Structure 1
């Protein structure tokens, strides 16, 4: 990913928090030189000094069969994004787009059944634990779980490279920066307002 110096993010904790908050991403592999992509929710864990991305896909999805022949897989995570009108600048310029994105590269392997069950348990806790009537691993019937496990393939990726870009108008002067925030808040769509909030925090 091309990242100008203004927009490069290197703080690992900040990147990890971003991935946890924007965990629905895209996994990209290749088959005979042609890219293949699947959009999935991912888990993120740390073991000692190594980071791992985990996930699962349908058994019928042919992408998992490319794992053995793929040297590196790419996982892409994206946060809010918004169009930036150059009419919001104090000097003539061209429009652009603000966004947040993280790319991670690594080696992929198929999970064991125990690893997959542990990963699914954590995912249910993350997305269901706060609900009034949570659907958790231990509340589902063994018959249903056995059937569902047969229909998916779990995988884990040892992260070997991280690239992170937060393009949030850091290259604009202070006056323009605050005006962009103000204009984004007026746009009336959630993405623009989320970008404005991210800019305010920075």
Structure 2
């Protein structure tokens, strides 16, 4: 991903927090010579050695799985909030732009055993059921229902490279008050979220 140096985020803890709260991403690899992408949750976890990894699963019927081989390199893309920025908010004449947060992760994919896949599914459900009014647990489901795990391919990704772009009008610090106030007046949550992030930008 092309990232001008003033938009590059190298704060690993901030990036990891972003991934934890924005785990629904794109898994991209090659299928029959063509790029292939699947929208799935990709959870940030740690392996047995304490290294950061991504864990996920896809439907066994998904053609992408046919190209899964141990040690194959894949790309995972995570999108955060984004917003159009009008240059009418600037003190000086300039073209409009778009602010956004995006993280790309490269890594080596390894297919999980059925047991490890089931363990990852338990973690996934438990994480997101916490916000439910009546949380469910896979532990309470029948063996017949849980046999559906045979219909998915679980995997883990050993992270080799993290690229994080936080484009938040860093080059227009003097315009930040106007940009943030205009963004906050919009109805969409993306604009409001970007406004809050701009306010966190340190000179």
Give me the TM-score of the superposition, normalised by structure 2. 0.94
User: How far apart, CA to CA, are the structure 2 residues paired with 1:68 and 1:118?
Assistant: 21
User: How far apart, CA to CA, are the structure 2 residues paired with 1:18 and 1:28?
Assistant: 20
RMSD: 1.4
User: How far apart, CA to CA, are the structure 1 residues paired with 2:86 and 2:113?
Assistant: 50
Any residues of structure 2 matched to 1:80-95 within 5 Å, and which? 80-95=81-96
Cα drift, residue 200 of structure 1: 1.9
User: How far apart, CA to CA, are the structure 1 residues paired with 2:117 and 2:70?
Assistant: 21
User: How far apart, CA to CA, are the structure 1 residues paired with 2:137 and 2:7?
Assistant: 39
User: How far apart, CA to CA, are the structure 2 residues paired with 1:142 and 1:71?
Assistant: 32
User: How far apart, CA to CA, are the structure 1 residues paired with 2:189 and 2:131?
Assistant: 23
Structure 1: tracts of 5 or more residues without a match = none
Give me the TM-score of the superposition, normalised by structure 1. 0.94
**Could you say which residue in structure 2 is the equivalent of 1:111?**
112
User: How far apart, CA to CA, are the structure 1 residues paired with 2:91 and 2:142?
Assistant: 62
Q: Specify the SS of the correspondent of 1:138.
A: helix
Post-superposition, which runs of at least 4 consecutive aligned residues in structure 1 deviate over 3 A? none
**Could you say which residue in structure 1 is the equivalent of 2:192?**
193
Q: How many residues align?
A: 200
**Could you say which residue in structure 2 is the equivalent of 1:33?**
33
User: How far apart, CA to CA, are the structure 1 residues paired with 2:33 and 2:22?
Assistant: 29
Any residues of structure 2 matched to 1:41-190 within 5 Å, and which? 41-47=41-47, 48-68=49-69, 71-146=72-147, 148-174=148-174, 176-190=175-189
User: How far apart, CA to CA, are the structure 2 residues paired with 1:79 and 1:66?
Assistant: 28
Structure 2: tracts of 5 or more residues without a match = none
Cα drift, residue 70 of structure 1: 7.6
Cα drift, residue 69 of structure 1: 8.2
User: How far apart, CA to CA, are the structure 2 residues paired with 1:201 and 1:94?
Assistant: 24
**Contact 2:70–2:109 under 8 Å retained in 1:** no
